[in-house]
A and B are shown apart, each in its own frame.
Chain A
């Protein structure tokens, strides 16, 4: 069996300012555009990257612009992996929020209208993992390329 070495495609940082998730989304989309993701799966990855970056900016780095969010895009065989790292350590309310969003409860006022971020991420990508190393908190978003063979809900 041939061992494929993961290949780093791009690494960059962003200031932790609200709205900068759009920069991450656009840059990652440009990086992976030729890797064989269908349009639908590229849109899903873009949403997941934006949501994970928003969480990193807001919950991880507390909207402090001087603390960067790190983004790395790697190709590993037929997978593209986007790693988004903040300095929030284990103090990550959204990640630790176990209550799944329930639209009926939200409409009845029993649950905040917010809280969709992780739910969206989990539903957008093929795999989502979270690791914490000291202060470094990383969310790993994995999407298989060549999407026609995989889950196409569209």
Chain B
């Protein structure tokens, strides 16, 4: 199935950033898995944290939630922390009711997530 989800990745000191856009649904499985792989293996850094940025995502459904659960499970198994940024109020609510926000720290936007991760004392 063609996916309406795109992902770009970049590496920061200690963190891998995955910027998602479009629709996060079941068809995004390969996009998300490939992006995760690319992000955590880029550069020499161990990437203890993975940032999922949803600022350009306009739709997440239950199968997309399942993909996010799978990414979180893999990251936890690899002892990586996952944080998220840019969720709309509606999808923040969904992260709350599914309890994803118990395991994924939420930031209003990518800048604040990056700032917190690269300057934790600030």
**Chain A residues in the interface with B (C-beta under 8 A):** 18-19, 21-22, 40, 43-44, 47, 50-51, 54, 101, 103-104, 106-107, 109, 112-117, 119-120, 123, 153-154
Query: How far is the CB of A57 from the nearest CB of chain B, in Å?
Result: 12
Contacts A18-B1, A40-B89, A43-B90 known; A103 to B62 CB distance under 8 Å? no
B93 interface hit (Cβ, 8 Å): yes
Asked whether A22 lies within 8 Å of B59 as measured between CB atoms, the reply is yes
Chain A residues with CB under 8 Å of B59's CB are 22
Asked whether A103 lies within 8 Å of B67 as measured between CB atoms, the reply is no
6 A-B pairs, CB-CB below 8 angstroms?
A: A54-B63, A101-B98, A103-B69, A106-B69, A116-B98, A120-B94
Contact with A along B49-85 (1 / 0, CB 8 A): 0000000000101110111011011001000000000
B97 interface hit (Cβ, 8 Å): yes
Contacts A44-B90, A101-B98, A153-B93 known; A107 to B63 CB distance under 8 Å? no
Chain A residues with CB under 8 Å of B89's CB are 40, 43, 154
Chain B residues with CB under 8 Å of A51's CB are 61-62
B interface residue count range (under 10 / 10 to 19 / 20 to 34 / 35 or more): 20 to 34
* B71 to A, closest residue via Cβ: A113
Pick from B62, B76, B90, B98: contact of A54, CB under 8 Å: B62
Asked whether B73 lies within 8 Å of A154 as measured between CB atoms, the reply is no
B100 interface hit (Cβ, 8 Å): yes
B99 interface hit (Cβ, 8 Å): yes
Query: How far is the CB of A113 from the nearest CB of chain B, in Å?
Result: 4
Query: How far is the CB of A75 from the nearest CB of chain B, in Å?
Result: 23
Instruction: Supply 16 further A-B pairs (C-beta < 8 A) apart from A113-B66, A116-B98, A120-B94.
Output: A18-B1, A18-B26, A40-B90, A40-B93, A44-B90, A51-B62, A54-B61, A103-B102, A107-B69, A114-B66, A115-B62, A116-B62, A116-B66, A120-B62, A123-B97, A153-B93
Asked whether B73 lies within 8 Å of A113 as measured between CB atoms, the reply is yes
* A121 to B, closest residue via Cβ: B62
Asked whether A154 lies within 8 Å of B93 as measured between CB atoms, the reply is yes
Chain B residues with CB under 8 Å of A154's CB are 89, 93
Pick from B67, B93, B97, B103: contact of A113, CB under 8 Å: B67
Q: Considering the chains assembled together, what is the distance between the CA atoms of A107 and B59 in angstroms?
A: 23
Query: How far is the CB of A120 from the nearest CB of chain B, in Å?
Result: 6
Q: Considering the chains assembled together, what is the distance between the CA atoms of A119 and B98 in angstroms?
A: 9
Q: Considering the chains assembled together, what is the distance between the CA atoms of A117 and B62 in angstroms?
A: 5
Asked whether A107 lies within 8 Å of B90 as measured between CB atoms, the reply is no
Lowest 4 CB-CB distances: which A-B pairs, in order?
A: A43-B90, A116-B62, A113-B66, A113-B69
